[in-house]
Amino acid sequence: GFETVLKDYNKKQIAQLNALIALLLGELASSDRQKIMTICTIDVHARDVVAKLVAQKVTSSQDFAWLSQLRHRWDEAQKHCLANICDAQFQYFYEYLGNTSR
């Protein structure tokens, strides 16, 4: 069933983070290290969000804990990416800040 989906996904996130950390412990070019560190930063946040959803026992896509997360989705009819949070929806305009240090 779907009862353990978030818990299972959280375990997968942790495994993926561990794989990235293993890469960081090895020999990397400076630019590659920066890229992987950026991915780690983003993935740690995602892991924490999912862990919070698990702790709050979120079971529905209508739970406020889920709705209050910034979500992106592709709208096939509009041929655009949309960003949703709570009951607000905005068209994503493909802003990109680059791979900068944080």
| pLDDT tens digits, 35-45 | 999 999 999 99
Give 80-99 as a DSSP string: EEEEEETTEEEE-------S
pTM for the predicted model, two decimal places: 0.80
The domains of the chain are located at: 5-91
Pairwise CA distance, residues 50 & 23, whole Å: 23
pLDDT band at 3 (very low <50, low <70, confident <90, very high): confident
Does residue 65 surpass a pLDDT of 60?
Answer: yes
CATH architecture, domain defined by 5-91: Up-down Bundle (1.20)
